[in-house]
Amino acid sequence: MGVFLTLVRRELGAAFNSLTGYVVVAITLLLAGFGLMDIVQRLNSDRTPSPIPEIFFADGIVFWLVLILTTPVITMRTFASEKALGTYEALMTTPVGEWQVVLAKFTGSLAFYLLSWAPLIGVLVALRQVTHQPQLLDPWAMCGVLTGIACIGSTFLSIGVFASSLTRSQIIAAMTSLLIGIGLWTISLRFSQADTTGDRLGRLMDHLSVTHHMQDFARGVIDGRALVFHLSMTFFFLFLTQRVIEMRRWK
Amino acid sequence: MIEVRDLTKRYPGRTAVDGISFTVGRGEVVGFLGPNGAGKSTTMRILSSFMPATSGTVRIAGFDVFHQPDEVRRRIGYMPENNPLHIDMRVRDYLKFRARLKGLGIGRSRDRADRVIEQCGLKDVEKRIIGQLSKGYRQRVGLADALVHEPDLIILDEPTIGLDPHQLRSVRALIKELGRQHTVLLSTHILTEVEMTCSRVLILNQGRILAADRVEDLESRFSQDGRVVAEIDATPEAIRDAFRDLPEVASIEIQAAAGSFQRVAFTPRAGEDLRPLVFEQVRQQDWSLRELTRPRLSLEDIFIQLTQKKKGGDL
């Protein structure tokens, strides 16, 4: 456990000591700023505005842009840069386990990702104070949003860590996870808007749709199936990562 | 300490290490010598259990590298090629971090980091960011890293590459110092480095061991059959007369040198060291002598001789 925490701390340190770390925070804040302008506009024009989390995380695309753009950038470094710099060799010749390394890199990425969302959450809470309309930001909906950010983020981050373990080029790692992320999002969008009353495939795809998951979360509905889905996805990609490392180590 | 038997590593389309066997005893300092691409780094990576071999066995301190890799990793301090470091970390933090990875507790890591900082002369820079250090200091950080968990065996892959003469000298001195307490295996393509730091040398080419010997033995074996060169102030005839009847001298070549000196090359009959004899003769004749050397061979010379010999043997 001690070694695991040491590795996580190292991951976070590397993120904050690098320019890309700050670029990620900048992207997040910039996009969130645009989203906020949208919210303010809607609050001014609508007589009965929807709750803020729904505007921001379900209807708008800001959450998805941030998710799809920042997760590849956060995770591309994890394995690819260590391989390119050679520190990977120094790491893997110490008696640390492959799972420890994989989980530490994932946990570090997740922690950084959540931290990059923190300012926005603060802004939303401030907005609630300013509007004097507490129903616009229900605490339960906020919990749902946080769960959604963490769950869906985990899936995307684990895809990114996996992509990074395949190559020594950070660009290739980022492009790969970006493509998978965009693919996942567009498919989800397509099926969450499809008529789901009919065939079973449509309903199944609806259950798997990440955009649908986020719509639920934004309403404060924490669906166990969505949680299980994202935990399984995360585990699946981390498992693949571990296999890749083990294979490269003992091929 | 190290037992390697029939070690082979094949990459697709290329054999990097071709069935080598060698042993290194506890307390030895052994140099791995060979041109680039000879298989030095590959062998070291297998020894440090970074990658598996295609076939063959490696045992380190009695543990099999393939079956008990963690036991081996705990006992090895390995500095990979090009000395990779986390350049965004501070020296002391980095060493503490590495000690933790190598299984030391928090308190112990702190103590050991302080100890190796002192041992490797890093006290002045312990709070500096590694990326801002000179190459010589970085190399010391790499060595400190290799040492931090008190390993039985230290493996250094080209520890002095790219250093300036001052840094070279201090890093070599440090390695020599380490050799007093640890078993060290280092790779290089510079012969003088092996001479200065190692007790034994393994010469590798195209994945095979061409020679494994003590440094002195290797030198006498390959020092151009023991040729000695002297610059003597006398006439060529007088020099020939003086050395003609000595049974140890096989032949003499004389060339005029600057001033009234002659440059004389002596070839011994049976690998003897002619230097004392030449000096004695010069002293008896009361000549003046301004140089007396046995030309040192570079790795290149030894290497070329070895490969030529090998070809001759095969034909």
Rounded mean pLDDT of chain B?
A: 86
- Model confidence over B17-43: pLDDT tens digits? 999 999 999 888 999 888 888 889 999
Among A93, A96, A99, pick the best mutation site for testing chain B contact (most B Cβ within 10 A): A93
Least confident of A52-56, A65-69, A189-193, B298-302: B298-302
Backbone dihedral angles phi then psi of residue B200, each to the nearest 5 degrees:
-145, 155
pLDDT of residue B58: 93
pLDDT over 50 at B106, yes or no: yes
What mean pLDDT do residues A145-151 have? 90
- Run of H or E residues at B7: strand B2-11
How is domain B224-293 classified at the architecture level of CATH? 2-Layer Sandwich (3.30)
Alpha-carbon distance of B198 to B162, in angstroms, equals: 20
Written as one letter, the residue type at B199 is S
Which residues on chain B are in Cβ contact (under 8 Å) with A90? Answer: 78, 80, 84-85, 98, 145
Contacts of A118 (CB under 8 A, 6+ apart): none
What mean pLDDT do residues B160-188 have? 87
Report the residue from A3, A92, A95 with minimal CB separation from B50.
A92
Nearest CA in chain A to B82: A86
Highest mean pLDDT among A116-125, A173-182, B289-298: A173-182
What mean pLDDT do residues A133-162 have? 88
Quick one: residue B9, left, alpha or beta (phi over 0 = left, psi -120 to 50 = alpha)? Answer: beta
Nearest CA in chain A to B85: A87
A249 touches B51 (CB < 8 A) = yes
CA distance A251 to chain B (A): 7
pLDDT over 80 at A148, yes or no: yes
High-pLDDT (> 70) share of chain B, %? 93
Alpha-carbon distance of B297 to B261, in angstroms, equals: 25
- Model confidence over B212-247: pLDDT tens digits? 888 777 766 666 567 788 899 888 888 888 888 888
pLDDT of residue A195: 56
pLDDT of residue A136: 73
pLDDT of residue B309: 60
Q: Does A39 or A199 have the greater pLDDT score? A: A39
Among B79, B86, B96, pick the best mutation site for testing chain A contact (most A Cβ within 10 A): B86
Give me the sign of the Cα torsion angle A101, A105, A106, A110. positive
Rounded mean pLDDT of chain A?
A: 86
- Match domain B2-221 to its CATH number in 1.10.260.40, 3.30.470.10, 3.40.50.300, 3.90.76.10: 3.40.50.300
Q: Does A160 or B167 have the greater pLDDT score? A: A160
* Band of residue B298 on the pLDDT scale cut at 50, 70, 90: low
Nearest to A101 by CA among A4, A167, A9, A246: A4
Q: Where do the structural domains in chain A lie, given as residue ranges?
A: 2-250
pLDDT of residue B142: 93
Alpha-carbon distance of A20 to B130, in angstroms, equals: 19
Nearest CA in chain B to A88: B84
Residues from A in contact with B at Cβ < 8 Å: 2-3, 6-7, 10, 13-14, 17-18, 85-96, 249-251
* Band of residue A196 on the pLDDT scale cut at 50, 70, 90: low
> Any idea what DSSP says for residue A55?
I
Least confident of B175-179, B215-219, B222-226, B256-260: B222-226
pLDDT of residue A54: 78
Alpha-carbon distance of A103 to A6, in angstroms, equals: 12
Written as one letter, the residue type at B280 is E
* Band of residue B211 on the pLDDT scale cut at 50, 70, 90: confident
Alpha-carbon distance of B89 to A203, in angstroms, equals: 51
Report the residue from B70, B87, B100 with minimal CB separation from A2.
B100
* Tokens at B5, concatenated: 């038997």
* Tokens at B216, concatenated: 């002195």
What mean pLDDT do residues B124-146 have? 92
* Band of residue B314 on the pLDDT scale cut at 50, 70, 90: very low
3-class SS at A197? coil
pLDDT of residue A237: 96
Residues from B in contact with A at Cβ < 8 Å: 45, 48-52, 66, 69-70, 73-74, 76, 78, 80-82, 84-89, 97-98, 100-103, 105-106, 145
Least confident of A198-202, B47-51, B149-153, B157-161: A198-202
pLDDT over 70 at B313, yes or no: no
* Band of residue A213 on the pLDDT scale cut at 50, 70, 90: confident
pLDDT of residue B164: 85
Q: Where do the structural domains in chain B lie, given as residue ranges?
A: 2-221, 224-293
- Run of H or E residues at A61: none
Alpha-carbon distance of A46 to B223, in angstroms, equals: 94
Report the residue from B66, B70, B84 with minimal CB separation from A95.
B70
Do B2-221 and B224-293 share a fold?
no
Q: Which residues of A97-127 are buried (b: 16+ CB within 10 A; e: fewer)?
A: ebebbbbbbbbbbbebbebbbeebeebbeeb
* Band of residue B255 on the pLDDT scale cut at 50, 70, 90: confident
Q: Does B36 or A164 have the greater pLDDT score? A: A164
